[in-house]
Structure 1
Amino acid sequence: MAPASPDGLNVLILGGGISGLTTALALTKFAPANKVPRIQIFEIRPEPATIGGAVNLTPNALRLLDHLGALPIIRERDYGRTIDYLEVFDVYTGKLAESDFSGPDGKGLGDPPYKALRITRGDSLKGVLTALEQHENITLTCGKRTTKIEETADSVTLTFEDGGSATGELLMGCDGIHSATRLKHVEPERKAVYSGVSNAFGFAPIEKDFQVHFECTAINFARRGMLLTSFFSPKKDTVYVGGLMQVADIGSRDGWKSVGADADKTRADLLDRFADAKIPCIKPLIEKTQDFYLWPVFTLSKFGKWATDRVMLLGDAAHAMPPQGEATGIVFEDTVLFSRCLTRWIEKGRPNTMKEAFDAYEKLRRKRIEAAFEESKDVVRTVSDAGVVGHTIKTYVIPWFLWWTSGNRKKHFIEDVTTVDIGY
């Protein structure tokens, strides 16, 4: 791959997770051929975090991973399991609905067609990291904690806890919900707020003759939460089990860590919520799950500041919200659309200031993010504790809601933001 060009931008990225890595790939892919940026990524952890649960990569997410060169690597390594359709169950009465990814001819959605992929966060990150290694213009440095961000009319400088520093023309804050970029520079007063729900997840090894009630992925609604059960590899020898449920605020990050470290307590809580399910495999799957983790879901307010003159927030750093089925795809769209706006500004000869490209991106993106934020509120309501009557109403509403919103979902799934008109 081509090295950085002397005429390319000098870009700093805070955050070595999926958002920061795909931002680096997108800025490289969409840069003018003779102006490839020099990109330095700084991650606070001692190494990229390849642990975590299993995520659903929707067709639009896979399309963008393909554009960025990561999907072929994921396919070659046989990471993940393809989802033709997602099944929705009431744990007491049975199947409620399906959400289809296979398209009218069974090949997927869009042109070219893509289905969905259930994959661990670790495997998806490994695929992106391997794609990143093919670009000489990108470097990733781990173990860097940012203590100060200073911005001038011409540059942005990061100062690190170890005494080092880095200076660039552009800083991308891709450092998640507790973003140092946002809290130290862009909008310090905009802090993460606990949503009221948490995700308890782990992995359950199963025997070959173990019977499950789903083809690949099932969302199982109960009176006191929602349990996701899914295969995530072609072997089908392990099931991802994740419970999204209403949990009282513990009040501190250390408190959450302490409670989350007690896997037996988390398992007991899940059994208390879901063991009365009439679906036979639910209780044994919870019992078989190893090393449960409890992950509180934090959010940001719907509106907020995304940028200064030379600093831009992307992904959860800008607009964290409860999971609503398309979160990862939204992050990938952020990175590609921002990169296209920045490239257009460069191609126009860098008129005025870089903020012109930032404003174009925000004008393009705000409406979509605000709509997704409203959708995420429905998730919180749906997984919150309910009595028998409330849950019964929920089982009638969910199929109707999936039908009512299917058109918008399909529109998002087939959209290719690498070619959509960015209006700039």
Structure 2
Amino acid sequence: MTDPFRIIIVGAGPAGLSAALAIAQHPSSAAADTPSSRPVHITILELRRSVQTIGGAVNMTPLALRYLDALGAGARLRPRGHAASAIELVAHRTGRLLATLWPGIDALRVRRQDVVEALTETALQGTAANGHPEALQIVYGARVQRLEERDGDGGVRVTYIQDNGGGDDNDNDTGGVGSATLAEVTIDADLVLGCDGIHSLVRRQLVEPDRPETYTGKCVAYGFIPASAADAARWTRSGGSQPLVRHTTLVQRGAESLLLARHQPAGARESSLYLAAVLPVPQPPPTLEQDASAVAGNTSASRREGWAVRGAADKQGLRRAIADVFAGGAIDCLGEVLARCDDWFLYPVHMLPEGGVWSKRRVLLLGDAAHAMPPQGESTGVAIEDGVLLAHVLSRRDTGRSVPQMLADYEALRRADVEALHKTSMTRWNAPAPAGWVGQVVTEWMAWLFVSYLNWTSNHFARDVRKLALPE
């Protein structure tokens, strides 16, 4: 029997799961009955022991949804989210509509957890249906211990410890194991994909140890509140004739924005409202940023998703900070909306320097592990697209093209798009806020111009990386 083409994926988030599904579903361009054709065996190693419930809502663009539909996960995901046919920018100063971003598009506002669950369910159903469970396996509680490039063209040896119980999902990647049920496992892989986020172990150990993530000085604060039909009717913009939130509203106050998005999964009796704002936090509190093991250089799993704000004093302080930013203005109901949110989460925004090394021999970084940038409205979709493009590139795996050649092909097709997105993201993230009411008016006009530009370039969603011509 022909030896399989073995792929190890570190991280079962949107990037890792999308890559696994796309590769498993994408046939080799070599004929199946040729001697060179090899079956693909994919193993996903996930640090946590289950899908985590923490995580805010994400925007799934038409492009991301088209890829998810192709992977078979779209039908599972859509009922769990809320259709978002447009994003409306409303001026905090006047309470009036500034501009509408992407009117009439097929977008979805959904929790990140639901994206991961839909992809996971699709993967598990696929392996059960084809009768080959070894084709795609997910190992939870897997703490990668060593990544070793073997001599010559021997691939990569991955050693991990499987933690089957006990301990804490927030224990560190390389230590802090709290379980008595441990088993060390070693796998030799033809290809390793680092899909383990901005604090990537794969990047730090093998690909580019000297490219550390940096904290941007800002945190995203997010939470959910109940929002009945009566609430929606009462919460209006200036003048009282227009609802504050139709689908998704971005309240603009100078350079500061407050996102309000309706969230009502199919079958839910009451809708909720998702709130998110970016706050300057010079340095996250030590209790949030690190634990005792992180001080020694290990990455805490809790750092990757953010933290629940605990304690009455902390909750009141955060609520007051957000309320102060958006105080005044012409939207009278905004204070009531913010006061209703009791449970806030803080997500520190880290980023990687532009460029960097994405691959080394038989190891490739995807998603935030390769190109983390500030929030720009389609980060999850970009990670999904990474995996879909890689599957397209790997279709030549049985044609004599080496793994390093295929990884170079991937970078040749991907870097320009990511660099352009990074520049746009940084321009918006670092935009200065003009002072005073004149400055607010200027910012409102700038927002209108920027949205007009984005609407003009909305054919971005029509592209499809699966149709790109592969390098010679």
What's the TM-score, normalizing by structure 1?
0.89
* TM superposition shift of 1:122: 1.4
- Tell me the residue number matched to 1:111: none
Corresponding position of 2:446: 397
Amino acid at match of 1:117: L
Select the residue among 8, 15, 19 that pairs with 1:19. 15
**1:290-333 residue CA offsets vs partner (Å, 9 max, x unmatched):** 31011111000001000011000000000000011121221111
Matches of 2:222 and 2:90 in 1, distance apart?
19
What CA distance in whole angstroms lies between the structure 2 residues aligned with 1:378 and 1:316? 19
One-letter amino acid of the counterpart of residue 317, structure 1: A
How do residues 239-258 of structure 1 correspond to structure 2 at under 5 angstroms?
Answer: 239-250=273-284, 252=286, 253-254=289-290
Matched ranges for 1:77-156 at <5 A: 78-93=79-94, 94-102=96-104, 108=105, 115-136=106-127, 137-152=135-150, 153-156=153-156
In structure 2, the partner of 1:419 is 467
Question: Quick check: 2:284–2:348 contact (8 Å CA) kept in 1?
Answer: no
For 2:240, the equivalent position in structure 1 comes to none
For 2:224 and 2:433, locate their aligned partners in 1 and report how far apart those are by CA, in whole Å: 23
Cα distance in 1 for residues equivalent to 2:216 and 2:143: 27
CA offset at residue 100 of structure 1?
A: 2.1
How far, CA to CA, are the matches of 1:343 and 1:229 in structure 2? 42
Superposed, 1:277-292 pairs within 5 Å as: 277-292=329-344
The structure-2 alpha-carbon separation of the partners of 1:258 and 1:99, relative to structure 1 and needing over 3 Å to count, comes to closer
- Give the number of aligned pairs: 403
Equivalent residue for 2:259? 228
- Alpha-carbon spacing, 1:23–1:101, altered in 2? closer, same or farther (3 Å): farther
Q: CA deviation at 1:189?
A: 0.9
How many Å separate the matches in 1 of 2:191 and 2:365?
11
How far did 1:89 drift?
1.3
Quote how far apart the aligned CAs of 1:37 are.
1.3
Q: 1:28 aligns with which of 24, 36, 47?
A: 24
Q: CA RMSD in A?
A: 2.2
Output aligned runs, 1:183-198, within 5 Å: 183-198=204-219
**Preserved contact between residue 333 and residue 417 of structure 1 (Cα < 8 Å):** yes
Task: State the alpha-carbon separation in 1 of the partners of residues 71 and 359 from structure 2.
Answer: 24
Stretch deviating more after TM superposition (270-279 or 11-20): 270-279
Indicate if the aligned counterparts of 2:9 and 2:44 stay in contact, CA closer than 8 A: yes
**Match of 2:145, SS?**
strand
Q: Is the 8 A contact 2:87 2:100 kept in 1?
A: yes
What secondary structure does 1:291 align onto? coil
Q: Which runs of 5+ in 1 are unaligned?
A: 103-107, 109-114
- What letter matches 1:98 in structure 2? T
Is the Cα contact below 8 Å between 1:172 and 1:314 reproduced in 2? yes
Provide the C-alpha distance between the structure 2 equivalents of 1:422 and 1:283, rounded to a whole number of angstroms. Answer: 53
The residue number in structure 2 matching 1:112 is none
Measure the CA separation in 2 of the matches of 1:242 and 1:54: 9
Poorly superposed stretches of 4+, deviation over 6 Å: 255-259
Deviations 1:54-74 (A, max 9, x none): 111000000000010100122
**Stretch moving more, 314-323 or 206-215:** 206-215
Q: Does 1:324 align with 2:376?
A: yes
Match of 1:357 among 406, 422, 429: 406
* Range moving further from structure 2, 379-388 or 395-404: 379-388
1:181 matched to 2:202: yes
What are the superposed Cα offsets for residues 247-284 of structure 1, whole Å, 9 maximum, x if unpaired? 21237513887894433322121111113242233221
3-state DSSP of counterpart to 1:60: helix
In the TM superposition, residue 421 of structure 1 has moved relative to its aligned partner by: 2.7
Give distance in 2, aligned partners of 1:413 and 1:419. 14
1:62 to 43, 48, 65: 65
Q: Measure how far apart 1:79 and its partner are.
A: 0.9
Q: 1:196 to 1:422 in 2, by over 3 A?
A: farther
Among 260, 263, 267, the residue aligned to 2:319:
267
Give the structure with higher Rg (CA): 2
Determine if contact 1:57/1:116 at 8 Å carries over to the other structure. yes
Q: Write the deviation string for residues 168-187 of structure 1: whole angstroms up to 9, x where unpaired.
A: 11100000000000011100
Which segments of 5 or more consecutive residues in structure 2 lack a partner in the other structure? 33-37, 128-134, 162-181, 236-243, 292-302
Q: What are the Cα deviations for residues 318-357 of structure 1, in whole angstroms up to 9, with x where unaligned?
A: 000001112122111111111111112x24x233x31110
Superposed displacement of residue 384, structure 1: 6.4
Q: How far, CA to CA, are the matches of 1:389 and 1:187 in structure 2?
A: 46
The residue identity in structure 2 corresponding to 1:300 is L
Pairing 1:237–2:246 present: no
Moved more, 397-406 or 12-21: 397-406
Counterpart of 1:168, as a letter, is A
Does 2:54 align with 1:74?
no
Displacement of 1:237? 1.9
Q: Is the 8 A contact 2:254 2:444 kept in 1?
A: no
Deviations 1:71-104 (A, max 9, x none): 01223xx2111111110112121211001242xx
Aligned partners of 1:218 and 1:305: how far apart in 2? 37
Q: Distance in 1 between matches of 2:189 and 2:84?
A: 41
Q: Which residue of 1 aligns with 2:224?
A: 203
Looking at structure 2, the residues matched to 154 and 421 of structure 1 have their Cα atoms a distance apart, in angstroms, of 29
- Separation (CA, whole Å) in 2 of partners of 1:411 and 1:196: 33
SS in structure 1 of the partner of residue 229 of structure 2: coil
Q: Distance in 2 between matches of 1:88 and 1:192?
A: 31
AA aligned to 1:303 is G
